[in-house]
Amino acid sequence: MFQYHCLNPIASVGLDGFGDNYRQTDDFKEADAVLVRSAKMLDMELPGKLLAVGRAGAGVNNIPLDRCADQGIVVFNTPGANSNGVKELVLAGMLLASRDIVGGIEWVNSQKDNPDVGKLAEKQKKQFAGSEISGKKLGIIGLGAIGQKVANAATHLGMDVYGYDPFISVDAAWNLSRTIHHIQDVNDIYRNCDFITIHVPLTDGTRGMISREAIQMMKDGVVVLNYARDVLVDEEAMVEALNAGKVKRYMTDFANPTVAGVKNVIITPHLGASTRESEDNCAVAAVKELKNFLENGNIKNS
């Protein structure tokens, strides 16, 4: 039986057989392993006896990967466990970008004291007319757990899907090949797609990848969706492109001052994986991975 010490509890459910003997403590010097979510930056000294750091979620940018490598500490994550939650928010983002649902709701609320709101709505609705996503070209950069789910769902919604991922596994590429076009050069996504969504991890190689140059290559009226990490996008260049009408809408899950309040930006406060199902799945998957690692030495990153 393991001893659990919670710095910041990751789950209170689904831990049958694990949950009885944990206690609150700020001291993890004696830990064999630590599990984190996204808010906790592991910037403190890591215990010498630490064997593993697990991330209940996908992004590992709050974990000091170099230090873990130097100390021989295994790092794992659970990239599949919250991918459905993120996928659903991306789909909502595409629909919100295409139909002026937000503008329409705001208008109705502004008329709350008007007894003729129903009649007036029939006259006003022209200004909220949108377009459909069916038949539009969707470019997906990154075909990991989330990118693959977005690809499948978007295909079912009638979109023409283009995917770019130089690191995709052969199996995943084969499974997707029946439904999407694989693109070898990311610039082809920038040049040809009506919607572009990013699903890559934050690394030195991906930081700022949606750069001024990339944005300039995009089609006029493109919608860009960022439900991955904020610093993947040069948001100053994005605001300029929005103001110039080059980008129609920027949908982001990251509340940054550069884009907050800017016209045609719709921001959610990092809600991608904030569903009861995703949170439970991540917590349970992380504990199972850890148990498997400590008992058998195996990691699946499922």
Q: Residue numbers of the site for ligand MLT (CB under 6 A)?
A: 37-38, 57-59, 82, 272-273
Which of residues 223 and 286 has its CB atom nearest to ligand MLT in the complex? 286
Cβ 268 to ligand MLT, closest distance in Å? 12
**Nearer of residues 59 and 130 to ligand MLT, judged by Cβ:** 59
Q: Supply the DSSP symbol for 93.
A: H
Q: Which is nearer to ligand MLT, 54 or 57 (CB)?
A: 57
Q: How far is the CB of 79 from ligand MLT (least distance, A)?
A: 7
In degrees, rounded to 5, the angle at the alpha carbon of residue 81 between the alpha carbons of residues 88 and 273 is 45
- Distance of closest approach, residue 215 Cβ to ligand MLT, in angstroms: 23
Q: From residue 254, how far is each of 26, 230, 265, 266 by CA, in Å?
A: 29, 6, 11, 10
Q: Which is nearer to ligand MLT, 139 or 272 (CB)?
A: 272
Q: By C-alpha distance, which of 192, 231, 188 is closest to 211?
A: 231
Shorter beta-carbon distance to ligand MLT: residue 198 or 273: 273
Residue nearest ligand MLT, Cβ-based:
57
Count CB atoms within 10 A of the CB of residue 251.
23
Residue closer to ligand MLT by CB (options 11, 58) is 58
Minimum separation from the CB atom of position 247 to ligand MLT (A): 23
CB of 41 to ligand MLT, least distance (A): 12
Q: Which residue type, as a one-letter code, is found at position 98?
A: S
Q: Which residue has the tokens 């070898």?
A: 184
In terms of residues, how long is the chain?
A: 302
Nearer to ligand MLT, 37 or 248 (CB): 37
Question: Please, what is the minimum distance in Å from the beta carbon of residue 17 to ligand MLT?
Answer: 24
- Burial string for 82-102 (b: 16+ CB within 10 Å, else e) reads bbbbbbbbbbbbbebbbbbee
Least distance between ligand MLT and beta carbon 81 (Å)? 8
| Least Cβ distance, residue 203 to ligand MLT (angstroms) | 13
Which bin fits 139, alpha (ψ -120 to 50), beta or left (φ > 0)?
Answer: beta
Long-range contacts, 93-97 (Cβ 8 Å, 24+):
93/197, 93/225, 93/227, 93/251, 93/266, 94/133, 94/138, 94/154, 94/195, 94/197, 94/223, 94/225, 94/251, 95/133, 96/251, 96/266, 97/195, 97/223, 97/225, 97/248, 97/249, 97/251, 97/266
Burial class (CB in 10 A: 0-12, 13-18, 19+), 231: middle
User: Do the beta carbons of residue 192 and residue 139 sit within 8 Å?
Assistant: yes
